[in-house]
Amino acid sequence: MTQQIPLHIPHDHPAFAGHFPGLPITPGVVLLDEAIHAIARHARLDLQSYKINSVKFLKPVGPGAGLTVEYEMRANGNVHFDVKENQHTMATGVFSA
């Protein structure tokens, strides 16, 4: 069953200062970190034993974007996730224990 979590990266996040001046976008590592930690809090996962299997960044995410993380716990222990802005998939990936 797919779960949804709102995700907000504030306009004043420190990563925007240098990525990129005049045309800020969310660095992929920040987007990934925020998404995985949101899933971990929501699903009550201990991330100590998890690893990232794959991730693809499909579209740039600007400051203050209205994001949603959709995730599904698979029977094999993998967690599949999509980061979306409206109905557009911005990033997608899989992590597992």
User: Per residue in 50-59, pLDDT tens?
Assistant: 999 999 999 9
Residue 71 or residue 19, greater confidence: 71
Q: What are the tens digits of pLDDT across the range 5-64?
A: 999 998 888 888 888 888 899 999 999 999 999 999 999 999 999 999 999 999 999 998
Q: At residue 84, does pLDDT exceed 90?
A: yes
Q: Would you state the pLDDT for residue 17? A: 84
**What pTM, to 2 d.p., does this model score?**
0.93
Q: What is the pLDDT of residue 91?
A: 98
User: Is residue 52 packed enough to be buried (19+ CB in 10 Å), middle (13-18) or exposed (0-12)?
Assistant: exposed
Quick one: tokens of 80?
A: 């599949």
- Which residues lie across from 58 on neighbouring strands? none
Question: What single letter denotes the amino acid at residue 76?
Answer: N
Binning pLDDT at 50, 70 and 90, where does residue 88 land? very high
